Amino acid sequence: MAKSFSLPGLGILLLPETAPPDLAALALHTHLRLHLRYSDGRQVATIASVEEIAGPDTPETRTLLLTEPDAQPVPAGTEVWWASEEEPADW
């Protein structure tokens, strides 16, 4: 993960270092169970939704939005792991 940004009222947006091909196959707003692996070895389980962003000089990129109420900014370099399991939408 390259950067994270707090989006008040929505969650924490995680920006990838490169466009993750696995996210392109998923529908927008799909909820996923993730594991964040921090550089200090700590691991945290969380939920994120698949989103898409674009800028004036950047192409559309799939990304993840941490949606849990207690989500905190994530330091650059944190590994994001997905076990290919979708979370039910009514969680």
Q: What pLDDT is attached to residue 23? A: 87
- Residue 37, Cβ neighbours under 10 Å: how many? 15
Whole-angstrom Cα distance, residue 47 to residue 32? 6
For residue 90, what pLDDT band results from cuts at 50, 70 and 90? very low
Rg (CA), the chain: 12
Whole-angstrom Cα distance, residue 57 to residue 84? 31
Give the residues across from 37 on adjacent strands.
Answer: 43, 79
| Domain extents in the chain | 3-86
DSSP state letter for 6: E
Per-residue pLDDT of 34-63, as tens digits, reads: 999 999 999 999 999 999 998 888 788 899
Q: Are 37 and 81 in contact (CB under 8 A)?
A: yes
Per-residue pLDDT of 56-77, as tens digits, reads: 887 888 999 998 888 888 999 8
